[in-house]
Amino acid sequence: MTENGFSPGKFLRDSSGRLRLPIIISLAALCIRLTYFFLVLAYNDQAGLGTMFADTTTYLKAADYLFGRSAEGHYDLYMVGAGYPFFLAVFSSVFGNTFWPVLLFQVILSSASCMMIYKIVELLSFHRSIAFVAGMISAISITSISLASSLLTETLFFFLLVLSIFLYFRGLRSERWIIAIAAGLCGGLMILVRSAAVFIPIIFVIFAFLIPAKETPGNRKRTLIKSGIVALIMISIPLMWVARNKVSHDVFTLSGTGMGAARVYLTAEVLFDVSERPSWEFVDYRDSLFSASRADYETGNFKKVQADAYDLVVSTFKQYPFLYFKMFLSNVWENMTAASSLQNSQLPVLDNRLDYFYPLRWGFQSPVMLLLSLIGLAIIVRRNIKKALILFLILIYFGFLSGITFWQGSRIYYPAQVAQAICAAVTLIFLYDLLTHFIKALPAISRLWNK
Q: Which residues of the chain have pLDDT under 70?
A: 1-17, 213-218, 350-364, 445, 447-451
Give whole-number Cα distances, 425 to 84, 93, 343, 345, 409, in Å: 31, 41, 25, 30, 23
Q: Which residues contact 140 (CB under 8 A, 6 or more apart)?
A: 28, 32
Q: Which residues contact 390 (CB under 8 A, 6 or more apart)?
A: 124, 207, 210, 419
SS3 per residue for 114-178? HHHHHHHHHHCCCCHHHHHHHHHHHHCCHHHHHHHCCCCCHHHHHHHHHHHHHHHHHHHHCCCHH
Instruction: Give the largest CA-CA distance in the chain.
Output: 88
CB atoms within 10 A of CB 202: 14
Give whole-number Cα distances, 203 to 156, 229, 425, in Å: 20, 13, 23
Query: What is the DSSP secondary-structure string of 185-199?
Result: HHHHHHHHH-GGGTT
Task: Provide the 8-state DSSP code for 81.
Answer: -
C-alpha to C-alpha distance for 274 and 157, rounded to whole angstroms:
36
Task: Provide the 8-state DSSP code for 339.
Answer: P
C-alpha to C-alpha distance for 224 and 172, rounded to whole angstroms:
9
Q: Which residues contact 277 (CB under 8 A, 6 or more apart)?
A: 285
Beta carbons of 41 and 100 less than 8 angstroms apart: yes
Vertex 415, ends 393 and 389: CA angle to 5°?
15
pLDDT at 351: 59
Instruction: Judge whether 356 lies within some domain.
Output: no
C-alpha to C-alpha distance for 341 and 334, rounded to whole angstroms:
14
pLDDT at 353: 57
Q: Which amino acid is at 44?
A: N
Residue ranges making up the domain that contains 231: 163-251
Domain count of the fold of the chain: 1
Q: Which helix (H) or strand (E) holds 285?
A: helix 282-291
Task: Provide the 8-state DSSP code for 281.
Answer: G
Beta carbons of 262 and 404 less than 8 angstroms apart: yes
pLDDT at 3: 42
Cα 5 to its chain centre, rounded Å, is 44
pLDDT at 451: 62
Beta bridge partners of 365: 338
Q: Which amino acid is at 336?
A: M
Exposure of 167 by Cβ count < 10 A (0-12 exposed, 13-18 middle, 19+ buried)?
buried
C-alpha to C-alpha distance for 427 and 413, rounded to whole angstroms:
20
Report pLDDT digits (tens) over 289-303.
Answer: 877 777 777 777 888
Beta carbons of 379 and 311 less than 8 angstroms apart: no
**Of 429, 404, 402, nearest in space to 417 by CA:** 402
How far is the first Cα of the chain from the last one, in angstroms, to the nearest whole number?
A: 58
pLDDT at 11: 41
Instruction: Judge whether 185 lies within some domain.
Output: yes
pLDDT at 440: 82
Query: What is the DSSP secondary-structure string of 391-433?
Result: HHHHHHHHHHHGGG--S-GGGTTGGGHHHHHHHHHHHHHHHHH
Instruction: Judge whether 440 lies within some domain.
Output: no
| 120-123: long-range pairs with CB below 8 Å, 24+ | 120/162, 120/165, 120/166, 120/169, 120/418, 120/422, 121/422, 121/425, 123/166, 123/169, 123/170, 123/173
Instruction: Judge whether 396 lies within some domain.
Output: no
C-alpha to C-alpha distance for 202 and 394, rounded to whole angstroms:
12
pLDDT at 354: 54
